[in-house]
A and B are shown apart, each in its own frame.
Chain A
Amino acid sequence: MFAYISRRLGVLFVILFGSSFILYNLAAISGDPLEALRTSKEPNVQQQIKNLTRDLQLDVPPPLRYFLWLRGILGVFVGHINFGKARTGQSVTELIWLAIPTTVRLVTGATIIAIVLGISIGIVTALRQYSRFDYAMTFVSFLLFSLPIFWVAVLLKEYLAIQFNNFLGNPTISPQWLIGLSLFSGVFWAAVISGDRKRVWSIFAIAGVSTAALLEILSVTKWFAHPGLGPIALFLLSVGVAFGVTHLSTGISNRSALRAALAMAVITLVMYYPNQWLFGVENKKLVYALMIIALFVVSGTVPLLFSKIDRGPIIRTSILSAFLMGLLTVIDKLMQTWKPYMETDAVYFRPIPTIGQVNALLEPGNFWMNFLDILVHLFLPTTALLLISFAGYVRFSRGTLLEVLNQDYIRTARAKGLTERTVIMRHAFRNTMIPLTTIMVVDFAGIIGGAIITERIFGWIGMGTLFNQAIGSLDLNLLMGVFLITGFMAVSANLVADLLYSALDPRIRAVSRSK
């Protein structure tokens, strides 16, 4: 194994060396970085040219200059990496260190949501193969697959940001929207749950009517102007989470697991007011860290009270539910911040921005306000990226699950009388996740370089912006810096994916395959 990894790493470095050498020279011969200065009429042109030549070592021919650059990069092995200087005189290392967090922030959320949503919908479509829901989702995912992101982004800006901001001015839902959304919800849930005709119609009616009622209440109380869950709604949602997680994780018939998950819901309710107080105290970082630790400790130990045997799945259920309930509590807190956030001068009732990564006018200091600010700025780009990338996961997880469901061991599992839930969640889903995991790894690596267009449209200053800037101004060091990071992420992710694959799937052995 060690030999295999070291050999792969060796190849990886050779590849990076080769491609960076070619790209360096390609970019170097493609234009003259001094051209703009030569035609300029400023008095100190000669001096500027001289400085730039010295700083960027332009008097050295590109193939040799590459090795000078490489020497700085190889400094990574002695603990001091040097990407050289950008044209502006700033250090490229610094620029990249500033840009990476922005890009990661931009893309991580979208990728995670796309994975979760894509896989869930993919699985449902596979389980309901050839149903209307399957056909509809196939069409939707192909449509999303074919959308250019720059086009979607403009539409989102217009309809999701500007129109939604207008709606918030007077947050009452018009009857057309009410009927439309209720019908949609009815059709959606009826298609997902499905069954015989009577069942489908009753699900359609229940889902439609409850959506309509909920929207009407939200509309009448002008909930969107001052949203929030409050302890009661939070508790009800938590109970829902408890049932849902238990159903997927162990099955409702496992009473101990259900009791543990419901206990978590009760704790969430009991802790509602203490949590509100804790959210407001000084020295926040420490307090929040302690809260997260407490969440895991409590959810890990409380289930021990409910069962003496087979505690693993129960603890898993309890931790997962507690995590989701904690998330709900945070969402509730953010909703409470919504109204004061809208009322600040910096926002003034138009909360969804179409551009930028933070609101510079907002006063710093208020943690929740700034957190919410980051989230609303993430809203549009995340939605755009989500729409684009989610289709791939739907298609892929559907295909994989269908393949797995045709295997003999699934038939065996059914034949020996396991419940459908166990067959799907334990036998089929876990095996579906093997190829999906490797795809996810590669996708995560693509995150850093993958948002060139999105950053440009939404005015974020991350790796994509650096890249655009580097190409536009013939800034070789900057370009190579961006390339090296993305290239390194791409090849190492492939390596990790291969290793992970062989670790997850005992049938595949990375070592023997390479021979």
Chain B
Amino acid sequence: MLKRKKNLVETTNDGGENAIQNKEIEGLSQGQIVRRRFVRHKAAMTSVFVILFLILAVFTSLEMKIGPLKWRGWWKFKYDELLDLRTEGCPEGIVGCPTLSVVPKFLGGSGMHLGMHPFGQDDIGHDYFSLVMRGAQRSIYVMIVIGILGGTIGTVVGAISGYFRGWIDAVLMRFTDFIITVPSIIIGSVVGYHYGNLGVGFLAFYLGLFAWTGLSRLVRGEFLKLRELEFVDAARVAGASNRRIIFKHILPNAVGVIIVSVTLLMSGAILLETALSYLGFGVVAPDVSLGSLISQYQDSFTTRPWLFWWPGLFIITIALSINFIGDGLRDAFDPRQRRRLTKKDKEQAKVQAKIAAQSE
């Protein structure tokens, strides 16, 4: 007991940054360390809340049917409902202007309220708020499906080829090269142009089938590295099966790389989907996505800019949050990552060292 205490004192006594950091993670599991590091990343944490709030708000806003279940939706209009175009309160000659107001009355604005059509109306009277919600639903849905599908395929392919090496690796990696040759925007356009009417699920599915290549290369590299380490040898000597080694020993150690690249894959996916929809090869009418909304209304920018701003802002918010989450995860999973010590930390460490020295 005494010996242990002395050790502790020594580690704090050396007073360097390492000591402070080492003390912080003393006795914590890898998962706890990662979680703590992530929670400390302010931008990433903010983004987590933003994206959760967005997803919740977007998906509950409109009427939805899943099998026999029916959700009413908290927003008053449907996205395909034709309404009267609002003209009062709009500048001369412009219809369907937004009613959203965020400047409070005491600042000379008209108070904070949503009004009838917070994002305005499109040129034939659809409520633009519900259109944007619908578009965001589609875009987020595609993003998540691509993330899950691409993540799974990429992990499996990369894990198998990195672990087994040899001819399996050669075949799988040539197959990956083969998929890389076909730029996803080209394959997306070819398939999307002709099968676009099969709906957004199909779009997400085939984009996912082509989106895993970068991930599989990273996972393969990670597996190649990890399989040579001692703990894998130890497991093998102890008689563990390949399956057990992959799932119990290597995969948990590679999970950082996988999670980080899946988030980046997802932020790329939402841009890809909106770009395809913008070109007219993604989500097609009568359904809407954020990309198709922008494509439809880009010419009305000078007269009715809100038709252009809102879908764009949603794309950026979603992609930006996901990028920040990815950045936070990368920092959290990086074992070399050291938190930047604030002055307060250093002071505290000094005080503790002093106390420890006195109690000695």
Indicate whether A148 sits within 8 Å of B294 (C-beta atoms), given known contacts A158-B301, A490-B181.
yes
CB 8 Å contact bits of A87-110 with B (1 = contact, 0 = none): 000000000000000000000000
- Shortest beta-carbon distance, A120 to chain B, in Å? 21
Q: Can you name 10 A-B residue pairings with CB atoms under 8 Å?
A: A23-B182, A138-B327, A139-B43, A146-B320, A151-B294, A471-B281, A487-B181, A490-B180, A491-B177, A491-B181
Indicate whether A15 sits within 8 Å of B174 (C-beta atoms), given known contacts A146-B316, A453-B279.
yes
Beta-carbon nearest neighbor of A14 in chain B: B174
- Shortest beta-carbon distance, B233 to chain A, in Å? 22
Tell me the chain B residues, 299-338 only, with Cβ under 8 Å from chain A.
301-302, 308, 312, 315-316, 319-320, 323-324, 327, 336
Interface size class of B (residues with CB under 8 A): 35 or more
Contact A16 B181 (CB under 8 A): yes
Contact A146 B301 (CB under 8 A): no
Contact B189 A471 (CB under 8 A): yes
| B156 interface residue per 8 A CB criterion | no
Contact B301 A479 (CB under 8 A): no
Tell me the chain A residues, 390-420 only, with Cβ under 8 Å from chain B.
406
Contact A453 B275 (CB under 8 A): yes
Task: Among A27, A145, A456, point to the contact of B319 (Cβ < 8 A).
Answer: A145
Task: Among A154, A449, A471, point to the contact of B190 (Cβ < 8 A).
Answer: A471
In the docked arrangement, what's the CA distance between A154 and B307, Å?
Answer: 12
Indicate whether A18 sits within 8 Å of B183 (C-beta atoms), given known contacts A30-B190, A158-B302.
no
Indicate whether A145 sits within 8 Å of B323 (C-beta atoms), given known contacts A26-B191, A150-B294, A468-B279.
yes
| B340 interface residue per 8 A CB criterion | yes
Point out the residues of chain A lying under 8 angstroms from B195, CB to CB. Answer: 30
| A194 interface residue per 8 A CB criterion | no
In the docked arrangement, what's the CA distance between A468 and B185, Å?
Answer: 11
A-B contact count (CB 8 A): 109
CB 8 Å contact bits of B17-54 with A (1 = contact, 0 = none): 00000000000000000000000000100000000000
Contact A151 B183 (CB under 8 A): no
In the docked arrangement, what's the CA distance between A146 and B274, Å?
Answer: 12
Contact B267 A146 (CB under 8 A): yes
Contact A27 B190 (CB under 8 A): yes
Point out the residues of chain B lying under 8 angstroms from A19, CB to CB. Answer: 178-179, 181-182
Indicate whether A472 sits within 8 Å of B193 (C-beta atoms), given known contacts A150-B275, A491-B177.
yes
In the docked arrangement, what's the CA distance between A452 and B320, Å?
Answer: 23
- A contact set with B: CB distance below 8 Å: 11, 14-16, 18-19, 23, 26-27, 30-31, 130, 138-139, 142-143, 145-151, 154, 158, 406, 449, 452-453, 456, 467-468, 471-472, 479, 483, 486-487, 490-491, 494
In the docked arrangement, what's the CA distance between A154 and B305, Å?
Answer: 11
Query: In the complex, which of the residues A23, A145, A467 has the most CB atoms of chain B within 10 Å of its own CB atom?
Result: A145
Beta-carbon nearest neighbor of B323 in chain A: A142
In the docked arrangement, what's the CA distance between A23 and B179, Å?
Answer: 11
Point out the residues of chain A lying under 8 angstroms from B180, CB to CB. Answer: 490-491, 494
Point out the residues of chain A lying under 8 angstroms from B191, CB to CB. Answer: 26, 30
| B208 interface residue per 8 A CB criterion | no
Contact A479 B308 (CB under 8 A): no
CB 8 Å contact bits of B165-194 with A (1 = contact, 0 = none): 000000000100111111101110111011
Contact B315 A471 (CB under 8 A): no
Point out the residues of chain A lying under 8 angstroms from B79, CB to CB. Answer: none
Indicate whether A148 sits within 8 Å of B177 (C-beta atoms), given known contacts A154-B301, A449-B183, A486-B186.
no
Q: Given known contacts A154-B294, A483-B186, what 17 new A-B pairs fall within 8 Å (CB)? A: A11-B174, A14-B174, A15-B174, A19-B179, A23-B190, A31-B194, A139-B43, A142-B323, A145-B267, A146-B323, A148-B291, A154-B298, A456-B279, A467-B186, A468-B189, A471-B189, A494-B180
In the docked arrangement, what's the CA distance between A139 and B44, Å?
Answer: 12
| B278 interface residue per 8 A CB criterion | yes
In the docked arrangement, what's the CA distance between A11 and B187, Å?
Answer: 22
Tell me the chain B residues, 252-282 only, with Cβ under 8 Å from chain A.
267, 271, 274-275, 278-279, 281
4 closest A-B pairs by CB: A146-B319, A30-B194, A151-B312, A146-B320
In the docked arrangement, what's the CA distance between A483 and B174, Å?
Answer: 19
In the docked arrangement, what's the CA distance between A31 and B43, Å?
Answer: 47
Tell me the chain B residues, 139-186 only, with Cβ under 8 Å from chain A.
174, 177-183, 185-186
Point out the residues of chain A lying under 8 angstroms from B197, CB to CB. Answer: none
